[in-house]
Amino acid sequence: MQNDESAIPQSDPFALFEVWFAEAKESEPNDPNAMALATASDDGFPSVRMVLLKGYGSDGFVFYTNAESRKGEQIRANRRAALLFHWKSLRRQIRIEGPLDEVTEAEADAYFHSRPRVSQIGSAASDQSRPLPDRQVYLDRVAAVEARYPDGDIPRPPHWTGFRLSPRRIEFWRDRQYRLHDRRLFSRDDASDPWTNTLLYP
């Protein structure tokens, strides 16, 4: 049998996330900041996709997107979401749930212009999630944006923005032998409340 002690400490969950994330950066071969983002429409129909974590801290976890995309429309209708990090190399995962707030325009501008110029052009040319009759139509729009702005940064489209998830639940999961997994849930009702935590049955 295994050691009867949990391998997940009762520490600050943000500090624990930082430790696990740093270890994932060392062990994951691709995109350790990749996370599943689950949203739902105002009538409760769910949708999930992979996005990239672009910032985190005690105020939450940040990602960027086109607010006119399907996920953007769902976020506008229902400001609650869930994130999932799964690091296969470490046999660990983290689940995070909470409300979403839009980042400031200054934050959105700063991140948009930190991206490669081609990525800026691609975002400006895209009607993300809308039907596309032919890929060449999109490539022609990319070329048109590039021709319109031959030098320097591309203006950030007003609908291209970011969101910060302020966690109310953070669950850390570690694989253990014989499926006797280790789970610890940190929860709070409001961002100003202290965290409580408990182990969960696997």
Catalytic residues, by residue number, are 179
CB of 53 within 8 A of CB of 33?
yes
Give 171-185 as a 3 state SS string. Answer: EEEECCHHHCCEEEE
Residue 131 tokens, joined? 């039907």
Give the whole-angstrom CA distance, residue 191 versus residue 187. Answer: 10
Q: Which are the contacts of 147, defined by CB distance < 8 A and separation ≥ 6?
A: none
Please name the residue ranges forming H helices in the chain.
13-27, 70-77, 105-112, 117-125, 135-148
HSE-CB for 20 with a 13 A CA cutoff: 26
CB of 83 within 8 A of CB of 36?
yes
